Amino acid sequence: MRDVVVLGAGLHRFGRFPDKSLQDLGREAIKNALDDSGVPFKDIEVAYVGRVLAGMGAGLRVVSEMGQTGIPVINIEMACGSSTSAFREAYLSVANGVYETALVVGFEKMQRGMLQISEQTSYQTVMGLAVMPATYALQATRYMADYGATPEMFAQVAVKSHRNGVLNPYAQYQKATTLEEVMASRMIADPITLLQCSPTTDGAAAVVICAAEKAAKYSASRSMTVAGWATGSGKFQSNDESEGDAEANMGEVVRLARTAFERAGIGPEDVDVTQVHDAFSPGEIFTAEGLGLVSKGEGARAVWDGRTEITGDIPINTDGGLISRGHPIGATGAAMVTEIFRQLTGEAGPRQVKDGKAKVGLIHNAGIGGMNILVFKR
Amino acid sequence: MRDVVVLGAGLHRFGRFPDKSLQDLGREAIKNALDDSGVPFKDIEVAYVGRVLAGMGAGLRVVSEMGQTGIPVINIEMACGSSTSAFREAYLSVANGVYETALVVGFEKMQRGMLQISEQTSYQTVMGLAVMPATYALQATRYMADYGATPEMFAQVAVKSHRNGVLNPYAQYQKATTLEEVMASRMIADPITLLQCSPTTDGAAAVVICAAEKAAKYSASRSMTVAGWATGSGKFQSNDESEGDAEANMGEVVRLARTAFERAGIGPEDVDVTQVHDAFSPGEIFTAEGLGLVSKGEGARAVWDGRTEITGDIPINTDGGLISRGHPIGATGAAMVTEIFRQLTGEAGPRQVKDGKAKVGLIHNAGIGGMNILVFKR
């Protein structure tokens, strides 16, 4: 497979936009990504679109806002992991020479109540486990017992995320919050309080990729290379509809991270900046451990000690993450790629890590049917 | 790219199954395909799933009925073209060495009223063009004026399709109908009557593919090779939501067929059996012309003269097609692949064309965002 580079990325601000259509959101993100990349839309050969709730054929409706060039517009749905899956399909198609350039798009207008992942009649629903926070809460409770972590350490994830969101003009929440405020917010599933949950969000994100050998054509003065990837759905103990929700399966993170790092020829110690799927605050801690960024049981302490801050040695979710930037499920993965692109190109402004010298970025995005781990190098 | 073969295919009968779940439908199709292929589920490395209405994460829910092996289960949605798009993604991933084996699945439980493809407020809706039959009817009317075709010639497509459906135990309708019955059925959009429309259908289909160089491992005594493909979304004159519905765009069929035949190194004269997207009877005629199976303006006459029958020289929709086999939109493309597999392996029984000597099969499946043309060789 040949090298593939990201040439540009763009967002529509994440937030609540009841008066805007999917086309409004997607058009702005795509235009921003195309402008950022220097690639004209007429050169785009295929579009892969992550979206979940938008309904039949939504990808074409949005992408054709740019013009009708006759390209395939392929909708990919893997719940919260949809647009890293779209990215992966686009990457593989360009890496294998099927296309020279590809557009990756993710968009969503969310509705409240999306957290219910099991059918009404399932065992999980009856037991109160059909909503994601419950699963995270049980894991967090066990983690506290095993490793001496405190509820405040989980809450600190949200403090950090909201602090980063203040620095991101595209974030849904641009307001700092104190540890006391996070702890005092409404309890959702002990120890997870409201401010530790990803909100209901509308938004769009787009990424332009290109075969590395063709990138010079676009006078690409900066880019990042796709260095490694891994995808899997995991194995689960339950046997109902929530099976395979990769968010809950940290063993799968370990396995896939190993594969992605092998493909990239590096290890977790080489990672400069990371985006993880923090749908709920414990997720960020467990995932950081699964990725090998910190040792097992040390994740909560790492957050507490400030190591995951923008100024820390293992900065995580520098754009505010799902909790503060927001989580329009079809768009989240592409937004993660966008933030890593900003960080590795040294264009992250006040969110910039490591004095603009970051060379390796890592992404973890989880959905139903697949978790994607992606490694990028400047 | 290396050669990829289809090793097996399977269906759940198409029809109306209000008491069955998607899992019930999908499990049976997947089991039939795996049994047919000789490939154990544990050897499947990825699943690509075509489905439209089934909602978030449906692919994993269905595929994990076979077991939890941790493979990615990637949902693809392109309306009526979803499962040839799933097939294409699976094919490209195996052809390019990303995986050795892949499972393609399509399933759907349809709801009435799915024909509305534009938003309520669009110009097309106001003009009565937001439903597909209207578009086909206008094209058919023009075609009759241009080429001297008659309404009976379009109706004959349905007569042929229903006759073929009688021979297919998996078809929704297994009942022959006369030309008089087709003509006398309720008018939907002149000249298209009810029996010339694809019905509301539940169903599932699955296909197992494998790198050709690994196929011997599965004692594959018969297979067919993916010889050519092309995908595009077309360019359209309108500028509303129905844009890019490839069903309506015959220029795109011509362009894509050329590409697919070039890749396969053959021409339309080499095709022994064809499956086309006959959502409405005129579609079969226009598509046969677009594919080059008959000359422009001769398609209706070819049907009338019996050339597209199982016993004809250009047999089309030998399994009953969308009109009689049924059209559960996520499953239709994979069912097309299944029928071509039966025909090219000489296992089509009473539907068998050309004394079992068919060597080349062709598929045309159209959706929103992409039309797929696939060429297979025994």
pLDDT reported for residue A131:
76
Structure token digits, residue B64? 């994990």
pLDDT reported for residue B119:
53
User: What is the model's pTM?
Assistant: 0.94
- The yes-or-no answer on residue B197 being catalytic is no
User: How distant, in Å, are the alpha carbons of A69, A75, A337, B47, B122 from that of B76?
Assistant: 21, 6, 21, 10, 26
A129 pLDDT band (50/70/90 cuts)? low
Contact B81, B246 (CB under 8 A): yes
Instruction: Tell me the pairing of strands B371-377 and B360-366.
Output: antiparallel
Per CB-CB distance under 8 Å, the chain A contacts of B367 are 57
- Chains A, B: CB contacts within 8 A come to 147
Contact A56, A341 (CB under 8 A): no
Interface mutation target, options A1, A2, A74, A241, chain B, most CBs of B under 10 Å? A74
Compute how many other C-beta atoms are within 10 angstroms of the C-beta atom of residue A139.
17
Question: What residues have CB less than 8 Å from B357, skipping those under 6 apart?
Answer: B272, B346
Give per-residue pLDDT as tens, A186-232. Answer: 999 999 999 999 999 999 999 999 999 999 999 778 999 999 999 99
Question: Which one-letter amino acid corresponds to residue A179?
Answer: L
String of DSSP letters for A15-66: E--TT--HHHHHHHHHHHHHHHHT--GGG---EEEE-SSS-TTHHHHHHGGG
Domains and their CATH numbers in chain B: 4-113+199-377 (3.40.47.10)
φ/ψ (deg, to 5) at B44: -70, 130
Interface mutation target, options B27, B51, B60, chain A, most CBs of A under 10 Å? B60
What's the CA gap between A131 and A242, in Å, rounded? 9
Question: What residues have CB less than 8 Å from A32, skipping those under 6 apart?
Answer: A9, A10, A11, A12, A206
Please, what is the average pLDDT of chain A?
A: 92
Are B56 and A368 in contact (CB < 8 Å)? Answer: yes
Range list of H helices, B266-378: 281-290, 299-304, 321-324, 332-344
| Catalytic residue selected from A12, A80, A162, A210 | A80
Are B57 and A71 in contact (CB < 8 Å)? Answer: no
- Residue A301, SS3? helix
Give per-residue pLDDT as tens, A297-347. Answer: 999 999 999 999 999 999 999 999 999 999 999 999 999 999 999 999 999
pLDDT reported for residue B249:
55
Which secondary structure element, helix H or strand E, spans residue B94, and what is its range? helix B82-95
Contact B144, B285 (CB under 8 A): no
Per CB-CB distance under 8 Å, the chain A contacts of B57 are 77-79, 117, 241, 244-245, 367-369
Q: Tens-digit pLDDT profile for chain B (378 aa)? A: 999 999 999 999 999 999 999 999 999 999 999 999 999 999 999 999 999 998 888 999 999 999 989 999 999 999 999 999 999 999 999 999 999 999 999 999 997 765 555 555 555 566 666 678 888 999 999 999 999 999 999 999 999 999 999 999 999 999 999 999 999 999 999 999 999 999 999 999 999 999 999 999 997 789 999 999 999 987 654 433 444 444 455 788 999 999 999 999 999 999 999 999 999 999 999 999 999 999 999 999 999 999 999 999 999 999 999 999 999 999 999 999 999 999 999 999 999 999 999 999 999 999 999 999 999 999
pLDDT reported for residue B341:
98
Structure token digits, residue B185? 């059925």
- Residue A99, SS3? coil
